[in-house]
Amino acid sequence: MTSGPVARCPSAGTARVVVVVAAIAAAAIVAAALWAALRPNAARGPNVLVLVMDTTRADRCSINGYARPTTPRLDAFARDATLFRDAWSPANWTGPAHASLFTGLRLEQHGFYEGNRRYLAAGTETIASRLAAAGWATACWSNNTSVSAEFGLTQGFEKIARPYERPDRSYPWAPATHAASGDWALAQAAADKPFFLFINDMEPHLPYEPPADVAARFLREPIPPDEMAILQRIRFPDNVTYDLGVDIISPRQMAQLSDLYDGEIATLDAAVGDLLDRLAAADVLDDTLVVVTSDHGENLGDHHLFEHAIGLHRTLLHVPLVVRFPGGTGRGRVVDDVVRLEDIAPTVLEACGLPLPPDLDGAPLTRDLAGRIARAMQPPQPREMIRYVNICGPTDTSKIDRGIESAYDGRFHFLRHTDGTEELFDVRADPGETQNLRDSAPADADRMRALLPPRVPALAAADPSGPR
């Protein structure tokens, strides 16, 4: 602002003031336009659709730059939406991650974590409960047994569909789920009633068994039926025993599992695209805030880990996030700032014109994105899991005995384990987190350590040196 004729003019100070005032005014106009687009009209608020592609890691989505076409429908949808390329989860499994998504709170605030409560406490305010109280019709379609009343995660939903209770249903599950939930959403729209529809889809979760035609597109070599049967029988506790080195999945099998995982993401992506197309064809999409994300990622041999029971590396915490605001505001925008799952709840409340509670850890995705810190934690695994693994014989269970805390600032990811070990990764230079910089970059380690979430009792109890 000080270059060119203004800087050389005797009245440059006055000119700067004029420029600054003009810039502030322009920013105010932009903010007002955004709020006008998000604010519900006098008759009714916007609809809300939140869809979780369970167990989908961001770096396996072509929407985030993955070389294989796993998410072509989301790729197209993002051109009319906002893509957040650095979104992170606060947990490595479904329960606490959904609790943060629904409440806008981190784990230490909502209390859903191992060693404290394996459920969201009754009476906790969620997106669903707040919208239901404000007049929205609310419904949840869950294919995951963890997103259920037993875990306290369906609070506020007037309609709760549990397709996982039907053992005879055909796979993949998403098409039938989207057909039924789409019927419900369109019925609400026809009655001119705003709705909040939440969907959890499970295709990318173990076992990986995409339809044969989709699998053929992603398998680098055909898999004989007998070998495929073995791969599709891999599930808990095989993942944990692999993590601990008891049972070995060969490199060839891991590569095959990786290909099948890609096929599962593509299978779900197609179903998501069909649902969005249906809402668009019914002229409902433009009046709807759409959020498509995941609750956590997946290890596919990374760090010699498989599935998501253990660890807080980027493979488990970096998730896809696409948001289409009502009216298409922000269409085609790509955001590289750090955002978190706990930012979704305040974004929904703001879009619906509801007040933001002052105690939220998250913040709306419409403003002040720079400088957000993603925090996560994993307390030690349940003792029954350790006892089960030890049935296989004496086993080093240190990987599941210890808890983990992590903080990420957009470049560095710092992990502290309760056994005293620490890891520091420069994610920009080393996205696979293969080089631990803890000793070679002590100043960065010190700065990141200060950003860790507050230590909870479950983690302090696991630390032989006590709270730090």
328-349 residue pLDDT tens: 889 999 999 999 999 999 999 9
**Strand 374-378 with 404-408, pairing:** antiparallel
Per-residue pLDDT at 425 exceeds 80: yes
Average the pLDDT over 406-414 and give the result.
98
Greater pLDDT, 247 or 257: 257
Per-residue pLDDT at 61 exceeds 50: yes
Instruction: Quote the CA–CA distance of 440 and 83 in Å, as a whole number.
Output: 34
Per-residue pLDDT at 292 exceeds 80: yes
Greater pLDDT, 293 or 394: 293
- Model pLDDT, residue 225: 94
In the numeric block, the tokens 């569909």 are attached to 161
Q: What percent of the chain has pLDDT over 90?
A: 76
Angle between helices 344-351 and 94-103 (to 10 degrees): 30
Greater pLDDT, 309 or 17: 309
Angle formed at CA 413 by CA 408 and CA 419, multiple of 5 degrees: 115
What digits encode the pLDDT tens for the residues 47-58? 999 999 999 999
| From 130-139, 235-244, 352-361, the region with the lowest mean pLDDT | 235-244
The torsion angles phi and psi of 139, rounded to 5 degrees, stand at -150, 145
Considering the chain, what is the average pLDDT of its residues? Answer: 88
Q: Minimal CA–CA distance to 451: which of 373, 387, 340?
A: 373
Where does residue 168 rank: exposed (0-12), middle (13-18), buried (19+ CB within 10 A)? exposed
Which residues, in sequence order, are CB contacts of 448 under 8 Å at separation 6+? 407, 409, 412, 413, 414, 424
- Model pLDDT, residue 76: 97
Average the pLDDT over 57-86 and give the result.
98
- Model pLDDT, residue 8: 27
Q: Is the CB of residue 56 less than 8 Å from the CB of residue 304?
A: no
Per-residue pLDDT at 144 exceeds 80: yes
- Model pLDDT, residue 460: 77
- Model pLDDT, residue 1: 34
pLDDT bracket for residue 16 (50, 70, 90) = very low
Greater pLDDT, 311 or 26: 311
And the tokens for 444? 């960065």
Average the pLDDT over 388-413 and give the result.
79
- Model pLDDT, residue 362: 98
Per-residue pLDDT at 280 exceeds 70: yes
Q: Minimal CA–CA distance to 98: which of 87, 85, 89?
A: 89
And the tokens for 402? 């210890």
Average the pLDDT over 284-291 and give the result.
97
**Ranges of H-type helices in 357-410:** 383-390, 398-401
Does an H or E element contain 87, and which? Answer: strand 87-88
- Model pLDDT, residue 389: 59
- Model pLDDT, residue 42: 34
| From 63-67, 128-132, 230-234, the region with the lowest mean pLDDT | 230-234
DSSP character at residue 357: P
